[in-house]
Structure 1
């Protein structure tokens, strides 16, 4: 891996060395010798040094299979890979001169895997009570809550079921069903409760903008109308201190600014405008024609880390390249800074949103 000239000051926060951001990728295309797509690769981003490293591959997948639409969360020094859609890439005819690769589902997975960052070991956990993908997931009181999603291939509807995992007992316990069938909903823990926000729903379009709130003490769901305020489900929502933050929806991961929820409305955060997140910064004159291929957000302290990948090339060759660029937004100061862009090997596709692991 190589890197370009740095456009931002060095990291000043020593506490960042205690954290790492975990992301799972797969190649977007077969290798140059036309071998099958390799299984998912778990990569670790070190925010204090602005470096990526390959950690491991998700076990249990045969050659050509990849796992997508799963949820990934962390507890202690362990990362959990939950559910998802096992699929393979298949070429479809576009024209006489070209073909595209599309994801074709094989089966919906109930599997739960735990990877220990410290010992570099994988463990099989108790499976989900119901297999699911494109579902909401969050951690509350050291337990993992999942809700909604789809449980069958090619299903037109989401599901309303929910369950909770106790890592100390390695058991999943069913929860009361939500009020609405949902998929592509987002889970976040806020003010001590589990929020399942947005999603594609049946039957009413109005209900797509609602949220379901689970009170872990009362053990019941409450429906909150209009919490998301958009028909299209959110891309990600994260909690920082006592606020919720979002930056886009599942069709447009970056709206050009960050929004914060005040308990009633989503409001644009002052100083958060950054249109250039859609492409590489214009300062990088040797890397024109860039296009963002993925974007995922992770909170560390009071900062939001936006991990972006770009497909790009230059005017001197026709080779498509892949670059990583990490942008930081300080939620307390309303200020941006961008780390040094890093050139990566091959084109990568993000398979699930990232999670943060505390190393010490």
Structure 2
């Protein structure tokens, strides 16, 4: 890439190119810059900057081919002695045909570490996340691309951040795991866009956050890796996971499946055209940033 960055977003555009936006750089701080990768040449090109530098935001590809970026965080420096974290309610839309960003309607609640899947009706569901006032959030908002406006919808039963959200074949959305204001979560719930309501579904056998969730060709959802927290009589410590679990929407139940070869968290997972799942990178239990790749078939 043109700029080193961590915690950006990456979105596949309709023309096959990939838009990477925002994130953080040790030298430049929080980034507003964006760049586009062309798989046919292997080259990166700078594109228009976002109006707001942000990290740990979300990016959702819309039906019209544009990309909606929502929320995130930044550090506001007042002077050499005082700074504070800012959690954004703002959103902006990238147009691949012009390479420019346009501000759109703000959410009612600033948040980061949320999820933002695109629904079958073309709207975007922003669920949960975190801010410095409320901690982990249960609130949910829906973005309408045709109006640029947000509407509050039913709250999740459990506040959660760093969870996953997966659009199911029936148009509903499964959220799983994450961190509440008290505990790591094994719980999961399903959102029905037709009613705006959430229903609790089966729990995973292992609580986790910083995991991935991939919708498979058979409609099931594969959750892999992430972190758990162990509380002993003398300490509290993270456990990085290599375990994986499969959710079956027809039963609402989870089944453990094969473990990854490597423990990893904050990795990526992509469902490929042949139905396999490509898991890339992340960090292992020793804090090593990984270049290794695994395939689930």
Matched, 1:304 2:277: yes
Q: Tell me the distance in 2 between the aligned counterparts of 1:180 and 1:26.
A: 28
Give 2:61's match in structure 1, choosing from 68, 74, 84: 74
Q: Deviations over 1:232-285 (max 9, x none)?
A: 22422121321212331157998557654345224335xx8444x97xxxxxxx
Within 5 Å, give how 1:120-139 maps onto structure 2: 120-139=99-118
Equivalent of residue 147 in structure 1, options 127, 139, 151: 127
Q: CA separation of 1:70/1:38 partners in 2, compared to 1, >3 Å: closer, same or farther?
A: closer
Compared CA separation, residues 106 and 56, structure 1 to 2 (3 A):
farther
Higher strand share: 1
Provide TM-score, normalisation by structure 2: 0.72
- Whole-Å separation in 1 of the counterparts to 2:114 and 2:282: 24
Is the Cα–Cα contact under 8 Å of residues 166 and 175 in structure 2 kept in the other structure? yes
Partner Cα distance (1:175, 1:147) in 2: 10
CA distance in 2 between counterparts of 1:127 and 1:236 reads 27
Kindly indicate whether residue 253 of structure 2 is the aligned counterpart of residue 264 of structure 1: yes
1:188 aligns with 2:166: yes
Q: Distance in 2 between matches of 1:245 and 1:88?
A: 38
- 2:209 alignment partner in structure 1: 233
The residue that corresponds to 2:154 in the other structure is 176
Q: State how 1:57-72 maps to structure 2 within 5 Å.
A: 58-61=49-52, 66-72=53-59
Distance 1:127 1:243 in 2: 33
Aligned partner of residue 191 in structure 2, secondary structure: strand
Greater Cα shift, 249-258 or 71-80? 249-258
Match of 2:72 in 1: 84
Give 1 or 2 for the bigger CA radius of gyration: 1
- Residues in 1 aligned to 2:73 and 2:194: alpha-carbon distance in whole angstroms: 32
Give the root-mean-square deviation of aligned CA atoms. Answer: 3.6
Separation (CA, whole Å) in 2 of partners of 1:184 and 1:52: 31
Aligned residues: 259
Q: Give 5+ residue unaligned stretches, structure 1.
A: 2-15, 31-35, 90-103, 279-291, 311-322, 335-360
**How far off its partner does 1:20 sit?**
3.4
Question: How many Å separate the matches in 1 of 2:282 and 2:159?
Answer: 32
Gaps of 5+ in 2: 2-12, 78-82, 229-237, 284-288
Contact kept, 8 Å, 2:178 with 2:210, in 1: the verdict is: yes
Secondary structure at 2:89 match in 1: coil
For residue 8 of structure 1, what is the aligned residue in structure 2? none
Return the offset for 1:19. 2.7
Q: What is aligned with 2:226? A: 249
Superposed CA deviations along residues 301-327 of structure 1, whole A, max 9, x for unmatched, are 3343445489xxxxxxxxxxxx99684
User: More relative contact order in 1 or in 2 (CA 8 Å, sep 6+)?
Assistant: 1
Q: 1:59 to 1:68 in 2, by over 3 A?
A: same
- In structure 1, what is the Cα distance between the partners aligned to 2:98 and 2:256? 43
- 2:210 paired with 1:216: no
Deviations 1:159-187 (A, max 9, x none): 21111111012111110222122222221
Cα displacement string for residues 85-133 of structure 1 (whole angstroms, at most 9, x for unaligned residues):
11279xxxxxxxxxxxxxx753111111111123212111111121111
Q: State the Cα distance separating 1:138 from its structure 2 match.
A: 1.1
State the Cα distance separating 1:69 from its structure 2 match: 1.8
